[in-house]
């Protein structure tokens, strides 16, 4: 199962409505399709979403690092030697979504070669994931209308509310409006993308105490080390680490620092190999996880669902899998569907990613 060729294809698909949050916004999915070809004719597929505001990667940097640094290190190697491949990739620091896409494409190759799905290969806990939807910045009435529409059309009953604006009271009002409109049965949690200071976060959390939030994610920057610890000690709502905990070592640091009570796992940045390590690390420590969203397209959401369904710990709570719904189109031949608030894992070998060639031709930017 020698790796013979690696393709990196830039493509751009516009969103109907941009997703806005404290660290940036995404109005076009300018992603990279990564394909790993092997000598037996098997091709593994994944996508890398550049998020410069979170990881410093761009579409051009992802293509450059894969083509010029990673591909020469792994061409000719067996796709089964994931650990050897990982050891080579991690000689280079950073570039998380480039590494993750390669890793997921390798798992796709292995699943196809064994005739099993990646979910079964990883653990096979279940065949579906409940869905949580991220609601981006907008006037409160629009945020409420979006959540109501997603509940009515797709049966989604868990929502992550983007916060981190100034003044923080705007976000408190929007979150409260969502609770009032959606009722007590809906799950709500918030994500600040490092937009507030610890003091602002503490005031906002206090004012949101009666809103019944499940948890609050990344309210202030990871570099505010003591302030985050102080916040975690004083918060009655559990705090989750997202962009501060993108590697097992960072997970350890955030948890031992007392800065977080739970961890967001994103396959877009830790692939399946590193995500699995983080999940087991959290299980061993008795720390909860949530399957997060890197503003993934359908391919990335399918990968995230395939991983989340593999483990009891990740399948326990709704996964953020629905923001592709705001894209005008996608590359999958058979679109990903959300029904009754759930995504079903594809009953296919590998990841079950089949690309629509006409769509790829239309959206790719390199021809
Ligand atoms: C999230 O959970 O933060 C926004 C920025 C990013 O890195 O991911 C998204 C969603
Ligand atoms: Mg987040």
Report ipTM for this prediction.
0.98
Q: How far is the CA of 3 from the centre of ligand 1 (A)?
A: 32
Asked if residue 80 is part of any domain, the answer here is: yes
**155: pLDDT confidence band, cut at 50, 70 and 90?**
very high
Sign, CA torsion 78/81/87/93: positive
Q: pLDDT at position 355, please?
A: 98
**Residues 64 and 211 reside in one and the same domain:** no
Model pLDDT, residue 148: 98
Domain that includes residue 89, residue range = 3-115+358-363
* For the CA of 134, the nearest atom of ligand 1: 10
Name the band, by pLDDT with cuts 50, 70 and 90, for residue 43: very high
CA of 292 to the centre of ligand 1 (A): 8
Banded model confidence at residue 322, pLDDT cuts 50, 70, 90: very high
Q: Which residues contact 286 (CB under 8 A, 6 or more apart)?
A: none
> Do residues 110 and 126 both lie within one domain?
no
Whether ligand 1 lies within 6 angstroms of the CB of 292 is answered as yes
Q: Are residues 213 and 275 in the same domain?
A: yes
Clarify whether residues 273 and 328 are in a common domain: yes
Cα–Cα distance, 152 to 116 (Å, whole number): 35
Q: Count of residues for the chain?
A: 367
- Residues 96 and 137 grouped into a single domain: no
Q: Which long-range contacts (CB under 8 A, 24 or more apart) does 314-317 make?
A: 314/265, 314/279, 314/289, 315/125, 315/126, 315/129, 316/288, 317/130, 317/132, 317/158, 317/288, 317/290
Q: Where are the beta strands (DSSP E) in the chain?
A: 3-21, 24-38, 43-48, 128-135, 158-162, 187-191, 213-217, 239-241, 262-265, 288-291, 319-320, 342-344
**Mean pLDDT for the stretch of residues 222-227:** 96
- Structural domains counted in the chain: 2
Contact 340, 155 (CB under 8 A): yes
């Amino acid at each position: 199962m020698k790796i013979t060729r690696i393709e990196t294809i830039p493509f751009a698909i516009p969103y109907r409505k941009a997703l806005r949050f404290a660290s940036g916004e995404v109005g076009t999915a300018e992603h990279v399709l990564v394909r790993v070809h092997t000598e037996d004719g098997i091709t593994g597929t994944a996508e890398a979403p550049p998020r410069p505001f979170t990881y410093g990667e761009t579409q051009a940097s992802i293509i450059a690092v894969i083509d010029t640094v990673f591909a020469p290190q792994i061409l000719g190697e067996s796709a089964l030697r994931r650990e050897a491949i990982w050891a080579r990739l991690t000689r280079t620091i950073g570039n998380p979504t480039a590494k993750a896409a390669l890793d997921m494409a390798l798992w796709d190759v292995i699943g196809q070669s064994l005739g099993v799905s990646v979910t079964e290969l990883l653990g096979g806990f279940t065949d579906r994931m409940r869905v949580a939807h991220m609601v981006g910045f907008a006037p409160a009435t629009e945020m409420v209308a979006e959540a109501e529409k997603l509940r009515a059309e797709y049966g989604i009953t868990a929502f992550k509310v983007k916060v981190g604006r100034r003044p923080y009271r705007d976000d408190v009002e929007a979150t409260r409006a969502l609770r009032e409109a959606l009722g007590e049965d809906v799950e709500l949690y918030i994500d600040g993308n490092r937009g507030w200071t610890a003091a602002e976060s503490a005031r906002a959390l206090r004012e949101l105490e009666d809103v019944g939030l499940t948890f609050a994610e990344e309210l202030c920057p990871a570099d505010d080390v003591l302030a985050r610890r102080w916040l975690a000690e004083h918060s009655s709502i559990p705090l989750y680490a997202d962009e501060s905990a993108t590697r097992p070592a960072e997970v350890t640091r955030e948890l031992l620092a007392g800065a977080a009570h739970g961890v967001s796992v994103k396959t877009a940045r830790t692939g399946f190999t590193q995500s699995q390590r983080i999940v087991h690390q959290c299980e061993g420590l008795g720390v909860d996880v949530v399957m997060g969203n890197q503003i993934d397209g359908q391919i990335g959401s399918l990968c995230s669902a395939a991983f989340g369904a593999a483990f009891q710990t990740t399948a326990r709570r709704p996964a953020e899998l629905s923001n592709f719904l705001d894209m005008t189109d996608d590359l999958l031949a058979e679109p990903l569907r959300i029904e009754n608030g759930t995504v079903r894992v594809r009953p296919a070998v590998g990841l079950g990613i089949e690309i629509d060639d006409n769509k790829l031709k239309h959206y790719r930017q390199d021809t």
